Each structure stands twice: as structure tokens, then as C-alpha cells.
Amino acid sequence: MHHTLGRPRVDDAPAIHELIAAYDTAVIGAPDVTLDDVADELAEPGFDLGQDGWLARDAGGRLTAWAWAHRIGDGDLVNVQVIVRPGAEEADELAAELWRLVIARARELGAERGHDHVTVDLDVHRSDEAKQTQAKELGFEPGTSFHRMRIDHSGSVDAPVPPDGVTLHTGESEQVRREAHGVQQAGFAEHFGFVPVDYDSWYARRQAQSVNDWSQLTLARADGRPAGVVIGNNQFLPDEDCGYVAVLAVLPEFRGRGIGRFLLRHAFASDAARGRRGTILHVDSNNTTPALGLYESAGMHPVLVIDVWRRRL
């Protein structure tokens, strides 16, 4: 091959961002990541630049591919990705070599934690038919689909009235953060791809993200007990001028009381008050709760679909 493989460094973020933007533009018509997104990925706690990532460059030194394997918590789940520049010379051969390296590293990450098998997840844009075909050829099978939902705010949005007995608390205090972590872990326990994460790891990951803002974490207590949480961040602020609901969870015992809908509308009102054009979130189409219907009934509409392909090693 006329490509040289190497390991990523933190200062490779601009080149990686340009590569991903070129790929996104080819498959969905516009870039879908920011430079900060890429920098956050490279600085992610638990991601080993010297072992978990690869860069490929052509003879002129231009970045032609970016690949990685990243473990989730201490479970058997590893997220993987291989992105090759559209039109790159020997693209198929390059992709095959990187997939060999990525899958081998996924096996190692599982073995290092004592697992006798590894679950590997790959995100693919629904519109990228070539990569969908490649996933099948690599032995991946359809896992689930995430719909990106959006609502636009044309001005101020009235703050919703809390359900009876519900109080709100923001995430600047450790006590609130710990309760929020507990709600998220229990609320998502039955969801696709969930891996339990202890509080210290959960906190460290968010603290390391440039888009994190603890004031956008809102815990709902019902009759004084933790019941639900919405966690927003600034992921879609630079490119979409939108707020992002990264997490919306309600404990099973408190469902059916309107807390989830209230927290969603609270996020809308908060984003509008910050002057943001809209609010974005992702919903699993196989969610164990009827989340997609909730978001659509609240005025959100789908703008993008990402399929998750899964392979067991």
C-alpha cells in the first residue's frame, strides 16, 4: 500500500477533524462533528492514544484514514470505527488492513478485563450504503438505530409547571451529581448497549469534555427522592446553535407521572432562554420506554438516522 500507518497524537485533532468532515460531507451532505468533538475523543479517559487508535497518511503526508477501538467501562463492550477519505487511493485495501487492526485490538481490550468474549459496536449513517454493506461483510449484524430528533425555538418557550411534589436541582453540587448518576444508571439499565459505570468514571468522563456544563444537569426529586434527570451539554452549539439533551431518564417507579415530559419541556425552555435556535437529542428506536412517541408528541422531528451494527467476538 502507498499509505503509512501511525498512532494519533493530541495535535492531530485538526487533521482528523478535516478527514471526518470530508467523509460526513460525502455521505450526509455536511460535516457532523466539530474540532472540539475530535479533541474530546482524543482526550477521552480510558482511550490510549498509543494502542487504541491508528492514522494512515499517503505519500504526501495527507491524512487518508482514522480508526479506533474504545472500551466502554469495564464491561465487554468496545466501540469501533474506521473512516477512510472518500476517493483515497487503494481505499478498500486500506480499510481492510485497519479493520484487521481494530478487531484485534477489540479482542485485546476484552481479554485485558477478563472477558471470554467481546461485543463490538459500529455506528453507520443510514445513508452510507457502502459502509452498511461493509459491516455485513465483516460479520456485523443490525443492533439498533438512533434517530436524531430536533425542535426549533422561534423565541421564548414557556417554562413548564412541575408535576405535584417535584422539585428541580442543578448539577453544580456533588450530592446532586451523585443522585443524577444513580438515576441515569438505573433508568438506562435495560437499554441497548448499556454498561454500568461507577460515579468516579462517569464524573471524570464528563469533566474531561469541553462541551460539559454542570448547570445544564437538572435532577428532579419527587417528594424529596431522586426520580428523574435531564443532562444537557454544548455539543451542538458551535455548528447548529442548538442545545443537546444527552440524557433523559426517569426511574421505573416514577414513570407515568409526567416527569419525563416535564424534564424534556424544561430543557426546551432552558435552551430557548439561552438564545439557542433549537434542541437536539438522540433516541434509540428500540428503547424500552415509548420515548420516540414522547419526543414526536412534544414537537420534535427526525433529521438523521444512525444504525448501530454489532458483532460478537
Q: How distant, in Å, are the alpha carbons of 12, 49, 54, 65, 171 from that of 7?
A: 10, 7, 5, 11, 36
* Residues 120 and 103 sit within 8 Å (Cβ to Cβ): yes
In the prediction, which pLDDT does 285 show?
80
User: In the chain, which segments carry CATH 3.40.630.30?
Assistant: 4-139, 149-305
CA 28 to chain centre: 18
pLDDT 10s digits, 153-182:
988 899 999 999 999 999 999 999 999 999
What value does the mean pLDDT take over residues 231-247? Answer: 95
- Both ends of the chain: CA-CA distance in Å? 28
CA atoms within 13 A on the CB side of 239: 14
pLDDT band (50, 70, 90) for residue 289: low
Strands 141-152 and 301-312: antiparallel
Please tell me the pTM assigned to this model.
Answer: 0.87
Q: What is the pLDDT of residue 290?
A: 62
Report the distance separating Cα 148 and Cα 306, nearest Å. 8
Q: Name which CATH class applies to 149-305.
A: alpha beta
Distance CA 310, CA 302 (A): 23
Crossing angle (nearest 10°) for helices 13-28 and 35-42: 120
Positions of E strands within 224-290: 225-233, 242-250, 278-284
Cβ atoms of 34 and 242 closer than 8 Å: no
Q: 4-139 is classed in which CATH architecture?
A: 3-Layer(aba) Sandwich (3.40)
> How do residues 187-208 score in pLDDT, each as one tens digit?
988 887 788 899 999 999 999 9
pLDDT of residue 288: 55
Given the C-alpha cell 412517541, which residue does it identify?
Answer: 293
